[in-house]
Structure 1
């Protein structure tokens, strides 16, 4: 149902190559990012108490097309339960299959092409068997130049955040399976007939709603789906906020200019243009920005109250993850989990 080859080709073309750098500069950036990620493992362990086994998830420094390829592979895994359900309901064939796969491939390729120029790094949990860490070198170089910050400090700062995600998923063995189970739960709530019959109209409504802060996710949320999405939002906000706390609290000990970097980076997030802002809302990226903020506030509030060792009860099992409502009520989470 999705022409992944077309998606990768189109996404790579739309993504572009990034800033112009010499071969020596590119080699230096790649080597420094690999070293920064490896160095960050011990820093994250010391600060959080999470101990990730060595060699469980590879670290890859990629260009924009490499990121597109990796995420196409991840999307294929993530969407498989939904696609299988749709195919079982109404198996496509002939011309409809050929044309439909091209259309969906082009849509996915457009999405990947847009995102490929934005992402600095990412932990890919869908790569078997334990996931992998992706660091997008051209984007990191582009942003460090745009912000006019020390490139060595900025690269380590990014590595601290992204390596925290690698540690989260490899030190907490149930996390990856839990994410997959939530994706399965979400696909179980989908009405194949309604989605196939009303998909185009709903996307058109989402495009209009994006101007007011809506997103495609909002348009496909039944009450049952919202329950799953609220749980996933709570989990992802925890992971993003936890990584932000690590990068900013560990940063001053090893990154002299971390305060300047954070100030400029936060200002940059707010300075997007009108079209970019609409696309971010439509794709749910504005909500992702809120995840960093809400998750970090939750983590700081709990750690300030009970300390990091007690906070780490959050990793004991899925039942200890904060729900979306608990992100704004850390005292409630403390009473529920630690009482």
Structure 2
């Protein structure tokens, strides 16, 4: 059963995202080289600041264009959705060839539109589901586009981005159980899905989006699914907030214009156009911005209270990860874990 035509999704997404800013061959080569060097330079900086040690020669760093990011994410989504597709096939049986072809192409177009919008925005991403140890993607056209938009120093901005994304690579490669834990949450979602409930959830989610009162997150509707989503939200808030704390902690010592970059970058988030803001809300990206903010507050509070070494108990295993509630109540996490 093919729930999504992933090739068609990549085709649609590539058209929506476009190629990115115009750069000469020399500029493109220089950007790729500087991003690779920035990622390599970031590794010891992240290790020294966090105390996390990632094994050498794991989780490769790839500098990609927008189409490369789209293909990587299509592959990642296919991996995540595989248990859900298997469960639906088991419960409902395979559809006819015609129904499958039409249905997968429609969903492929919808996913492609979403990926196309994101593919023009994302600066970098760690893919924890790429075998065997994940991979780090740095999206060169988007990084060049934003550094130009902010009138930022290219070398400084590229290293700033690399510090954040390399922190994600270190989080997962220093703690190999973390990717397995997130994938297990996807399997847990599959175990809660009934075909009739899925259809009802899709209808309710579509209505809420059309009315402007919801996001794609509304597709997760049952109490069991919301409980899983809360667990994932706690993890993602930790990961994003931790990376922001690292980039702001390391940045001043190695990036001369880091304060200016942070100010301009935060201001840019506020100044997005109305369509951009609408799409961000519908895709749940406003929630992601909250993850950066709340997660960073959590990490800073705990580190200020007990130090980085004791904070690193958070990486022991699933049981020491903060819940969604603990992200906004870090003292509760300290009391429970430490």
Q: Normalising by the residue count of structure 2, what TM-score does the alignment of the two structures yield?
A: 0.97
Go from structure 1 to structure 2 and tell me whether the alpha carbon gap of 1:100 and 1:35 turns closer, same or farther (over 3 Å shift): same
Larger deviation: 118-127 or 182-191? 182-191
Give the SS at the match of 2:63. Answer: strand
Partner of 2:228: 228
Distance 2:206 2:221 in 1: 15
Distance 2:65 2:292 in 1: 25
Contact 1:298–1:328 at 8 Å: present in 2 too?
A: yes
Please list the CA deviations of residues 171-205 of structure 1 after superposition, one character each: whole Å capped at 9, or x if unmatched. Answer: 01210111111111112112222213x35522421
Q: Is there any run of 5+ residues in structure 1 with no aligned partner, and where? A: none
**Correspondent of 2:85 among 74, 83, 86:** 83
Partner of 1:115: 118
TM-aligned CA deviation for residue 315 of structure 1: 0.4
Answering whether residue 199 of structure 2 is matched by residue 190 of structure 1, we say no
TM-aligned CA deviation for residue 85 of structure 1: 1.3
Answering whether residue 247 of structure 2 is matched by residue 244 of structure 1, we say no
Larger deviation: 277-286 or 20-29? 277-286
Give the SS at the match of 1:123. Answer: strand
Distance 2:222 2:35 in 1: 42
TM-aligned CA deviation for residue 97 of structure 1: 1.0
Please list the CA deviations of residues 9-65 of structure 1 after superposition, one character each: whole Å capped at 9, or x if unmatched. Answer: 111121101111110000000000000001100000000000000111000000000
Distance 1:193 1:237 in 2: 32
Give the SS at the match of 1:35. Answer: helix
Larger deviation: 216-225 or 250-259? 216-225
Distance 1:300 1:140 in 2: 27
Please list the CA deviations of residues 286-308 of structure 1 after superposition, one character each: whole Å capped at 9, or x if unmatched. Answer: 10000000000000000000000
Distance 1:50 1:94 in 2: 50
Go from structure 1 to structure 2 and tell me whether the alpha carbon gap of 1:227 and 1:200 turns closer, same or farther (over 3 Å shift): closer
Distance 1:264 1:254 in 2: 18
Q: Normalising by the residue count of structure 1, what TM-score does the alignment of the two structures yield?
A: 0.97
Partner of 1:70: 72
Partner of 1:20: 22
Give the SS at the match of 1:122. Answer: strand
Answering whether residue 166 of structure 2 is matched by residue 163 of structure 1, we say yes
Q: Within 5 Å, give how 1:271-282 maps onto structure 2.
A: 271-282=271-282
TM-aligned CA deviation for residue 169 of structure 1: 0.2
Distance 2:317 2:198 in 1: 33
Distance 2:206 2:328 in 1: 33
TM-aligned CA deviation for residue 129 of structure 1: 0.8
Distance 2:17 2:129 in 1: 22
Distance 1:276 1:192 in 2: 33
Divergent runs of 4+, >6 A: none
Question: What is the RMSD computed on CA atoms of the aligned residues?
Answer: 1.1
Contact 2:201–2:219 at 8 Å: present in 1 too?
A: no
Q: Within 5 Å, give how 1:4-153 maps onto structure 2.
A: 4-90=6-92, 91-153=94-156
Distance 2:201 2:224 in 1: 18
Distance 1:113 1:141 in 2: 18
Contact 2:202–2:219 at 8 Å: present in 1 too?
A: no
Distance 2:5 2:176 in 1: 33
User: What is the number of residues matched between the two proteins?
Assistant: 335
Contact 2:215–2:283 at 8 Å: present in 1 too?
A: yes
Distance 1:239 1:285 in 2: 16
Partner of 2:264: 264
Please list the CA deviations of residues 90-144 of structure 1 after superposition, one character each: whole Å capped at 9, or x if unmatched. Answer: 2211321111111111111111111100000000111111110000000000000
